[in-house]
Amino acid sequence: MASTKEKLATLIEWFNDNEIVWDKEAIEIKIVNDSFGVFALKDITSSEKPLVKIPKTAILSIQTTGIANVLEDEKIAGSCSLAIGIMYELAQGKNSPWYGYLQALPLSEDLPVFWSDEEKSWFKGTEMENAVHNDLADLNDDYQAIVVPLLEEYPYIFKNTDEFYSFDLFCRISTLISSRAFEVDAFHETAMVPFADIFNHRSGNEHVHFTTDFEVCEACGELEYCEHEYLKYLEHGSDAESGDEDDEEGEWSDMEDPDDSMSQASDISLKSEEQDKDNEEDEEEDEGPLEDLEELENADINFWKKDQEEKEEEEEKKDTCDMILEEDVKKGEEIFNTYGDHPNIVLLSKYGFCHDNNKNDYISVGQDLVFSACAEAVLNEMLKDKKAAKQDKDELVEEAAERVQERFEYFLTHESIFCPKEDDEDDHDDYDDGEGGCCDDGCCDGEEHGHEHGEEEGGCCGGDDHDHDHDHGHDEEDEEEDHHGGKAQPYFANVEGLFEDGIMLLLHVVFVNDRTFEKFKEDIGEALNYFERLADESQNGDKKSRKNTEHLRTKKLVYTVCKRLSELRKKEYMDDKEEWTPIEKDIELRDKITNNRHYYALTCRISEKKIIEKSIEYYDSRIKSCDIEAAEQPKTRKKQKN
């Protein structure tokens, strides 16, 4: 087996053979912990000029692998198809065009999916617990549903399946894709980009950024105008002519007629030829008779200068993936890329590490848990009524559940209106990073957010940044159904312990009085106006609403449920004795640990426990604030009467 040093030498030779260009006087690749990293050979200042240029002909994608036609015929897409392509190239050994690159890759990343059951038990109660389970389940589903049938369909292509196409190897290749692949363009989609994946990660203050021209022809990957674009134009032009009579010129009215264009092009070509001929005659007259060829050679005239210039221009036009240096680097310093702003669950699931004080961390609560907490709060309110207290307890429990169910269904039916996903606007999910928000507890203020939740939170199969994109995502609630018959999404509390807008609005719908809820049902505009007033109160401190007894009651119930949800999540982090280990003790234990896996597991646990403690403390203070405001109301009324 080749040493790491030998692998690096083979890799660099492969880079050169495949026209990957980098400034060899400025940077070098060095061995770092049995892997590689990129280091500065001198002080380098940031520049728009690429530090590394990788031709797209060198990347390994579903379009460049030797079985691209099979993947296309079978309509296999996403990271699963790329995993199959990589396994195929590995099976070819030295016959693969990517051998020099593939031989230098690690067998797999050290991700939680490969940990032992005992090691996975360290995640008990954390966001990682379900993520690891979901990752393995998704990988197994993909392997059984996609890979196995493909191997059976093409035995003459996929040989030695036990060695080169096993489930274990599929998992390991999938983790490599998760941690190393980049979203390249509309043609290649997610791909392995040699050299770009050598830059190690650092959260914040990274040095380089991955850039590429994403908008290319989806059929051939051509960066500039191609035959597919022309055919698309002809197709749309034809549609426009036979389109709506109301719009005679159609959507493509600003485009020229193809026949007219060809005719004009022909005229221009003829004129151009005549012009060139005249120019040549003029040049001959100016230069006089051709000088002796031997004299020109003796004068060191470079006959190929024009050809060289044209070749350089062609090189400039090549479609490449570039690494741009955005921050200055000192001599000897390692040059880092970033995988994006992600919570520890993503960093550990996809890249095999995590870190303290991650501002993107969160805790989640399932919809069923929210429903139960709401029903419990409604029941407690009912029991305050003396008449209701005399009723059968089971009947009251059923009545409370029905009340909550109706309001849940109303909210979920209109959720896309109340809480429009930024997917609908600009590929964002749950948190509103803008100013303000819809709640009056400060959780909607822009500075409190800055984390996006979505399908990426799934782990090694999920999508993310580092300019990556992959298929699987997970709800940490194991495919729970929502109370409207659809797929339930969990709700999140950010690193400050504040719950997101979606759940806050849901809770307000659950706890407004019957009269207000009837108005919501009659006119959705009433609900939108209500939420707008909440946002105004949050930003401007509306004193009028604070004097409203009913509004104070609603707010207190909302905060009570938020606190209750955090308390319920807290129980999941209890130790074997059902006790809450103080965070200080967890930190002391972690500081003594030399096992990286245990260290990272504790880092995740510590971060999430901090969120829970902050959340309970915050919502407890809001409940007390409501009590103080309610107690002051009678005094205010007395003063007004006097």
Residue 288 belongs to some domain of the structure? no
**Same domain, residue pair 456 and 599:** yes
Least confident of 135-139, 216-220, 567-571: 216-220
**Same domain, residue pair 356 and 333:** no
The number of angstroms, rounded, from the C-alpha of 529 to the middle of its chain's C-alpha atoms is 33
pLDDT tens readout for residues 372-410: 999 999 999 998 887 776 778 889 999 999 999 999 999
State the Cα–Cα distance between residues 565 and 559, nearest whole angstrom: 10
**Same domain, residue pair 425 and 501:** yes
Q: Please report where in the chains the tokens 């994608």 appear, as a residue.
A: 61
Residue 309 belongs to some domain of the structure? no
- Mean pLDDT calculated for residue range 24-37: 93
Residue 511: pLDDT over 60: yes
Residue 243 belongs to some domain of the structure? no
State the Cα–Cα distance between residues 362 and 501, nearest whole angstrom: 14
Helices (H), 78-126: 78-91, 99-102, 117-120
Residue 507: pLDDT over 70: yes
pLDDT tens readout for residues 265-283: 445 444 455 555 555 555 5
Residue 624: pLDDT over 90: yes
State the Cα–Cα distance between residues 139 and 162, nearest whole angstrom: 17
pTM of the model: 0.76
Residue 544: pLDDT over 70: no
State the Cα–Cα distance between residues 600 and 616, nearest whole angstrom: 25
- Mean pLDDT calculated for residue range 131-140: 93
The number of angstroms, rounded, from the C-alpha of 217 to the middle of its chain's C-alpha atoms is 24
Across the beta sheet with 200-201, the strand order is 27-32, 35-40, 334-337, 200-201
Q: Which of 452-461, 463-472, 628-637 has the highest mean pLDDT?
A: 628-637
Residue 400 belongs to some domain of the structure? yes
Nearest to 468 by CA among 105, 149, 181: 181
**303, 337, 371: which is the final residue of a domain?**
337
Residue-range definition of the domain harbouring residue 172: 4-223+319-337
| Distances 601 to 126, 291, 352, 480, 604 between C-alpha atoms, Å | 9, 80, 11, 25, 5
**305, 337, 369: which is the final residue of a domain?**
337
**Same domain, residue pair 77 and 219:** yes
Supply the mean pLDDT for the chain: 80
CATH number of the domain that residue 143 is part of: 3.90.1410.10
Instruction: List CB contacts of 533: < 8 A, sequence separation 6 or more.
Output: 542, 545
pLDDT tens readout for residues 222-234: 666 665 565 666 6
| Distances 259 to 271, 376, 398, 500, 598 between C-alpha atoms, Å | 18, 74, 74, 58, 70
**Same domain, residue pair 441 and 324:** no
State the Cα–Cα distance between residues 139 and 474, nearest whole angstrom: 12
Nearest to 59 by CA among 172, 177, 201: 177
Residue percentage of the chain with pLDDT more than 90: 56
Bridge partners, residue 185, by sequence: 189
- Mean pLDDT calculated for residue range 361-366: 97
Residue 463: pLDDT over 50: no
Exposure b/e, 181-201, CB count within 10 A at least 16 = b: bbbbbebbbbbbbbbbbbbbb
Nearest to 436 by CA among 532, 350, 343, 520: 532
Positive or negative CA dihedral for 487, 444, 464, 167?
A: negative
212 vs 434 pLDDT, higher one = 212
Residue 314 belongs to some domain of the structure? no
**Same domain, residue pair 323 and 370:** no
Residue 232 belongs to some domain of the structure? no
pLDDT-derived band at 215, boundaries 50, 70, 90: low
CATH number of the domain that residue 423 is part of: 3.90.1420.10
- In terms of residues, how long is the chain? 642
607 vs 453 pLDDT, higher one = 607
**Same domain, residue pair 525 and 598:** yes
**Same domain, residue pair 382 and 323:** no
The number of angstroms, rounded, from the C-alpha of 138 to the middle of its chain's C-alpha atoms is 18
Residue 641: pLDDT over 50: no
**289, 306, 337: which is the final residue of a domain?**
337
State the Cα–Cα distance between residues 356 and 582, nearest whole angstrom: 17
Residue 346 belongs to some domain of the structure? no
Residue 485: pLDDT over 60: no
**Same domain, residue pair 88 and 158:** yes
**Same domain, residue pair 462 and 327:** no
Number of domains, the chain? 2
**Same domain, residue pair 472 and 590:** yes
Residue 42: pLDDT over 80: yes
Residue 587: pLDDT over 80: yes
**Same domain, residue pair 472 and 333:** no
Residue 78 belongs to some domain of the structure? yes
pLDDT-derived band at 189, boundaries 50, 70, 90: confident
| Distances 634 to 7, 93, 557, 631, 637 between C-alpha atoms, Å | 79, 83, 20, 7, 5
pLDDT tens readout for residues 283-332: 545 444 445 556 655 665 555 555 555 555 555 556 898 999 999 999 99
DSSP 364: E
Say if CB 208 and CB 195 are below 8 A apart.
Answer: no
| The pair of three-digit structure tokens given for residue 408, joined into one six-digit string | 């849940």
- Mean pLDDT calculated for residue range 481-492: 71
State the Cα–Cα distance between residues 158 and 91, nearest whole angstrom: 8
pLDDT-derived band at 342, boundaries 50, 70, 90: very high
